[in-house]
Amino acid sequence: MKELIIKNSSFEEDVLNSDIPILVDFWAEWCGPCKMLSPVLAEIAEENDAFKIGKVNVDKDPSLAQKYLITNIPCLILFKDGKEVNRMVGLHSKEEVLEFIQK
């Protein structure tokens, strides 16, 4: 499954109304750790169909970052049935991200 680019206008449909869990990566172009995490998430997205992975650029959609109280990036939030169920901040390995999703 490919990563989704999520915007404020599509957040409700892509995330809150998703029929399967979705991991949302809050990131920015200028963020070094975000750039390092991106290929890890892309690899996970390609290998898994049990959940989706989406990306929110905090500079382009600051209202979403504010709504979800994003103070540090990268910030991964796992949503299930339209609700936040877990979050993780910072750069993590593929194994750590998969473990986080499966908790």
Give the confidence band of 93 by pLDDT, cuts at 50, 70, 90: very high
pTM, full prediction:
0.93
Enzyme catalytic residues: 31, 34
Give the confidence band of 48 by pLDDT, cuts at 50, 70, 90: confident
Q: What is the pLDDT of residues 50-72, one digit of tens each?
A: 889 999 999 999 999 999 999 99
Tell me which residue range forms the domain holding 89. 4-102
pLDDT at 1 over 80: no
- Quote the crossing angle between the two packed helices 32-47 and 94-102, to the nearest 10°: 60
| Mean pLDDT, residues 26-32 taken together | 97
- CB neighbours of residue 4 within 10 Å: 18
Q: Which of 67, 69, 70 shows the shortest CA–CA distance to 28?
A: 70
| Mean pLDDT, residues 67-92 taken together | 96
Tell me, what amino acid is at 91? L
- Residue 57 pairs in a beta bridge with 27
For the chain, the domain total comes to 1
pLDDT value of residue 49: 84
What CATH number has the domain bearing residue 26? 3.40.30.10
Give the confidence band of 103 by pLDDT, cuts at 50, 70, 90: confident
Kindly list the distances between the CA atom of residue 35 and the CA atoms of 25, 26, 40, 74, 77, in Å, as whole numbers in the listed order.
11, 12, 10, 9, 17
Token pair recorded at residue 43: 């690899």
